[in-house]
Amino acid sequence: MSHASPRPLEIAHTGPLAGRLTVPGDKSISHRALMLSALAVGESRIEGLLEGEDVLATAAAMRAMGADIVRGDDGIWTVNGVGVGGLLQPEQALDMGNSGTSTRLLMGLVSSHGITVTFTGDASLSARPMARVIEPLSTMGADITASPGGRLPLMVRGMNPAVPIRYTLPVASAQVKSAILLAGLNTPGITRVIEPVATRDHSERMLAGFGADLTVEETTEGRIISLAGEAELKPQQIVVPGDPSSAAFWVVAASIVPGSDIVVANVGLNPTRAGIFTALRLMGADITEENARTVGGEPVADLRVRHAALSAIEVPADLAPSMIDEYPVLFVAAACATGRTVARGAHELRVKESDRIAAMAAALGAIGVETEEFEDGLAIQGSGGAPLPGGGTIASLLDHRIAMSMTVAGLVSTRSVTIDDVSPVATSYPMFFQTLDELRKQAL
């Protein structure tokens, strides 16, 4: 899965955004739906699956290990699984493209199966550290050989039977937690993960939905998730809600572009993922939840967002786990607020598709926004609602969220903003730019 040819984009302010839109299916839930369906015995159906490159990498990997995965003409995916313990030896290396989620979760999945799997990825993914996953999976018995610095390409030789562990997460990470739990599915005994700081809980919700014996206990140590191994998963009918990370770009755009009024339909509002909307409301954003409901165990609503004057805040550090992927676009909102916004406690941003703290400091600086960089975040001096100067060229660094966030910044810039490469946007949101065009047209 080689990276596409660079696609530069020049974006300029052209007026308000209006209309109703849907966003792609939640990426975190889409990955997990494919993996667990592939481990169930029987046929599962998945509606609303995100069909970006990252999720397609997961689908290809599960096919390579024996699952029958087909997309119907109606957009519904059917998965006939191999059962827990039934993964087959893939004939060649699994190319994860740019997907860190696919890589880390699948490393967990194969660690307790008697197969050997090599993981490769693009240049961006190959620069990302995997040590935090390697350490607990090695403790469970997997033999993992990585490139220098704990990076890809790497090889996982699974251990069957693996050894159950009790593991306290040293850093809040839903991916590490999920990798251990997925390894625990085919491990005899009880695998326990302790979270001192709660992270997104899609894995726990979906594992329970597929019939795994899983319990969650709130203690003074934190959340203790316990999973009984050698599970038998039952096939499911899954409806994937809209991705809050994708919705965040439109929520911020409508908040900062004068005259905007949009509805983002069917947004997943799992409290472990919805921190961005909390932060924006603290800044004064006009976000109303309509038609609140529950879909597949996940809270969902339509979000109506209207332009509002934003004020700077000190972003509560305890929101970080529930909005870690949304900080880049929050920084754009802060650039348009009145006052100096400070966001700390987001160390995880340093090891995403890019170093998102440094990348956003450079990107905002290039369009005339004053920032101060910390090891764990940024301070941003807002424009008080005035247009941003713009005029710079932005390095997206193969990072889809940097590209989309700076596209939003271009919508409120006096001079056009040039982004060197927006092709990575296809990893999570293939229709992003078409949706932007529609929202502009509907406002005319």
Structural contact between residues 132 and 85, judged by C-beta atoms closer than 8 angstroms: no
Domain boundary among 239, 271, 290: 239
Mean pLDDT of 374-383: 97
* Residue 418 identity (one-letter amino acid): T
CB atoms within 10 A of CB 186: 26
Do 55 and 122 share a domain, yes or no? yes
Q: How many residues does the chain have?
A: 444
128 labeled binding residue: yes
Report the percent of the chain where pLDDT is more than 70.
99
Do 189 and 258 share a domain, yes or no? no
- What CATH number is attached to the domain comprising 281? 3.65.10.10
The secondary element (H helix, E strand) that includes residue 68 is strand 68-71
Do 395 and 427 share a domain, yes or no? yes
Name 97's Cβ contacts closer than 8 Å, sequence gap at least 6.
Answer: 1, 53, 54, 57, 121, 122, 125, 427
Do 216 and 92 share a domain, yes or no? yes
Do 41 and 184 share a domain, yes or no? yes
Give all strands of the β-sheet with 9-11 in edge-to-edge order. Answer: 9-11, 417-419, 393-394
Q: Given a cut of 90, is residue 444 above it in pLDDT? A: no
Do 157 and 265 share a domain, yes or no? no
Q: Give the CA radius of gyration of the chain.
A: 21
Q: What is the mean pLDDT of the chain?
A: 95
* C-alpha distance across the termini of the chain, in Å: 39
356 labeled binding residue: yes
68 labeled binding residue: no
The secondary element (H helix, E strand) that includes residue 390 is strand 388-390
37 labeled binding residue: no
173 labeled binding residue: yes
Residue among 86, 30, 22, 29 nearest 56 (CA): 30
Domain boundary among 239, 271, 303: 239
Answer yes or no: is 396 within a domain: yes
Of residues 167 and 4, which shows the higher confidence score? Answer: 167
Q: Given a cut of 60, is residue 435 above it in pLDDT? A: yes
As a whole number of angstroms, the distance between CA 400 and CA 98 comes to 10
pTM of full prediction above 0.85: no
Do 50 and 182 share a domain, yes or no? yes
Answer yes or no: is 4 within a domain: no
Residues 50-63 pLDDT 10s:
998 999 999 999 99
Q: What is the dihedral of CA 183, 189, 195, 196, to 10 degrees?
A: -140
Residues 216-233 pLDDT 10s:
999 999 999 999 999 999
Q: What are residue 336's phi and psi, to 5 degrees?
A: -100, 0
189 labeled binding residue: no
Segments forming the whole domain that contains residue 54: 27-239
Do 113 and 214 share a domain, yes or no? yes
Answer yes or no: is 16 within a domain: yes
As a whole number of angstroms, the distance between CA 337 and CA 191 comes to 46
Domain boundary among 239, 265, 298: 239
> What tokens does 33 get?
């739906």
As a whole number of angstroms, the distance between CA 111 and CA 130 comes to 14
Of 59-68, 294-303, 370-379, minimum mean pLDDT range:
294-303
Domain count, the chain: 2
As a whole number of angstroms, the distance between CA 247 and CA 42 comes to 33
100 labeled binding residue: yes
Residues 99-154 pLDDT 10s:
999 999 999 999 999 999 999 999 989 999 899 999 999 999 999 999 999 999 99
As a whole number of angstroms, the distance between CA 345 and CA 322 comes to 12
Q: Given a cut of 90, is residue 89 above it in pLDDT? A: yes
306 labeled binding residue: no
352 labeled binding residue: yes
281 labeled binding residue: no
Per-residue model confidence (pLDDT) at position 2: 46
Do 96 and 190 share a domain, yes or no? yes
Do 103 and 131 share a domain, yes or no? yes
Answer yes or no: is 1 within a domain: no
Catalytic residues: 325
As a whole number of angstroms, the distance between CA 50 and CA 27 comes to 6
Per-residue model confidence (pLDDT) at position 3: 54
Answer yes or no: is 112 within a domain: yes
Do 154 and 127 share a domain, yes or no? yes
> What tokens does 421 get?
């490469």
27 labeled binding residue: yes
Residues 241-264 pLDDT 10s:
999 999 999 999 999 999 999 999
